[in-house]
Amino acid sequence: MATPLGRERTALTEKPVRWKEMDFVKLPGFSRPSRTDKGVHALQSSVHLDLESSRSLEYSPEYLTSIFNKYFHKNNLDIRIQSCQTVPDTFHARHSVKSRTYLYRFAVRKPCAETFKHNVESLAQIPFSEWKRKPEFDETRLRSALKLFLGVRDFRTFTTIRSKLESQAPPTVRTLHKLELSRGKPLLDAHYDPTNAHYTYWNITCKARSFLYKQIRRTVGVLLAVAQGHVSVDKVQHMFECPSHESWDPRASSAPPHGLYLVNVEYDPQDLMLCDNAGDLLTNTDAKIDHKSHKPRSYGFVVDTKPDFQVAQVLPGLCMGSQDVAQDTKLLAINQITHVLSLGVKVETVPSIVYRYEEVLDTPECQLQSILEPCFMFIDEGRRRGCVFVHCNAGVSRSAALVIAYLMKQGLSFKEGHAHLKKARSVIKPNPGFVAQLHMYEGMSPLMCCNYVYTQ
C-alpha cells in the first residue's frame, strides 16, 4: 500500500473520525515511525496517537481499530489498520523503533532485449524507467561493494543534508545491520505484461535503526554505478574513509524514489508493554478496557511517603536519588559527594558542598529546556572536582528526566539512557511530558538541544 506523505496524518487527525462523539479533549497528537520522501511507498508502517477524553473515558483497541477502518473504507482511503494496542507513555512511534527495513526494487534490461524506443515506457502495464539504463550489470562487482556499507559507518557522503558550518552539521554516523542483494520478481506475470521478458529483476534489502536523508537512494545509486562499471569499489571505500560531500562521485546518481518501499518497522516487545504503579508488566489483554468504562486516566505522579536512602551511581562521579539522601550528611560523606543539584526541592546546605537549585515542577507541562545547559555544566564541573548528587523529591520523575537527558548528551539514545538509569535506580518514572521532551531532545542537533519548546 502506497501512503502519500501527509495523507495518513489528515486521515487520522484532521478528518472528523467521530472525535466529537468520543469526547476527546482535543484532536489527537500524531507520530509516525519515519519521514519518507515523496514517491516512496509504505507496505507496512505504524503510528501512535495520544488520546485523552474530557470524561476520563478509555476506548478499547478493538473499538478504535473498527471505527478507523470503517471511516477509511467509507472515504476511499488506501489505509487499513491491522492491529491496535495500548502502550506506555514512554513509547514513541519514531524514537522507540528498534529497526526499519526498506526494500529497493530495480530491473536490468537483458543484453538480448530489443533496442527500445523512447515511448516504450508507456507500453508496460506498470510503467518504469529502467529501459533507459544500459544492460551492463556485474553482479559480482556489486556484491563486493555491499560489505563496505555494513556496520558502524559515517554516511556523510551518502546524504544531501548540508550545513554552512561543519560544527552545525547533524551527526551522520549510522549502524547498518543488513544490506543484501537478491533476485526479484515482476509485479505482473509475463502473460499480462510482455515487457517483463526483457528484464532481470533485483531487490536490495536494507535494515538499520535509522537512516539519513536520501541515504538509501544514494546507496543504491552508488551500487548500480559500481555494477555498471562507472564507479570503482576503491572509490566507494574512499567515500567512507573521507566522508564529505566532496567525496561523492558525480558518475553516480540517487536512485529514483518510486523503487523504494518501507516493508517493516520493528519494536522491542518490552517497549510496548504497560506497567502498573508497582512496576509489574501488564499484558495487552490486561490493558483492554471497554470503551464505555469510566476509569480515570492515571499519569503515575509519585507521592513520597517513606524515607529513601538509596544512592544510585549512574556514572563515575554522578549519583542520583531522593531528597532524603541530600539531607543526610553521613550519606553524603560516605559517598564522597562534593556537589548537589536540587530540582524543585530545597535542602539544608553543608559548607563543604557546592549546591545548585532549579525550580522544576513535576507536571507534564513543565518545560525543561531552560535548565538543561546550566545543569549539564554544573554536573560536568562536579564530576571533574568530585561527585555530583542529583535529586528531586522522590528521585523518580524530575531528577530521572534530567539525568537521562545528560546521558543522551553523552551519546546514548533515550531508550539506552532510560535503561541504563533503570538498572541503577529501578523506581524511576519520568512523567509523560518529560518523556515527550526527551524524545524531542533526542532528535535535535547539539546546537539546537537547549532551544526547543515542548507543546502538548
pLDDT at 3 (0 to 100):
36
Candidate from 236-240, 362-366, 429-433, 445-449 with smallest mean pLDDT: 445-449
Residue 456 binned pLDDT confidence (cut-offs 50, 70, 90): very low
- pLDDT tens-digit profile of 177-214? 999 999 998 887 777 777 777 888 999 999 998 898 89
- DSSP reduced 3-state for 107: strand
- pLDDT tens-digit profile of 304-318? 556 788 999 999 999
Q: Does domain 97-266 have CATH number 3.40.50.261?
A: no
CA angle 129, 135, 139 (to 5 degrees): 110
Residue 17 binned pLDDT confidence (cut-offs 50, 70, 90): low
C-beta atoms surrounding 13 within 10 Å: 15
Higher pLDDT, 270 or 180: 180
CB 234 within 8 A of CB 253: no
Residue 89 binned pLDDT confidence (cut-offs 50, 70, 90): confident
DSSP 316: T
pLDDT at 200 (0 to 100):
87
CB 231 within 8 A of CB 249: yes
Q: Does domain 7-95+268-287 have CATH number 1.10.1740?
A: no
CATH 3.90.190.10 domain locations along the chain:
312-442
C-beta atoms surrounding 55 within 10 Å: 10
pLDDT at 359 (0 to 100):
93
392 among known catalytic residues: yes
Phi, psi of 438 (to 5 degrees): -65, -35
Structurally, at CATH architecture level, domain 312-442 sits in: Alpha-Beta Complex (3.90)
Residue 33 binned pLDDT confidence (cut-offs 50, 70, 90): confident
CA distance 32 to 211: 15
CA distance 238 to 357: 50
Name the grid cell of 4: 502519500
Residue 384 binned pLDDT confidence (cut-offs 50, 70, 90): very high
CATH 3.30.70.660 domain locations along the chain:
97-266
From the candidates 206, 392, 449, 450, which is the catalytic residue?
Answer: 392
- pLDDT tens-digit profile of 397-413? 999 999 999 999 988 99
Please give the share of the chain, as a percent, with pLDDT higher than 70.
Answer: 75
- C-alpha torsion sign, points 361, 365, 367, 368: positive
Q: Where are the alpha helices (DSSP H) in 122-262?
A: 139-146, 215-227, 233-241
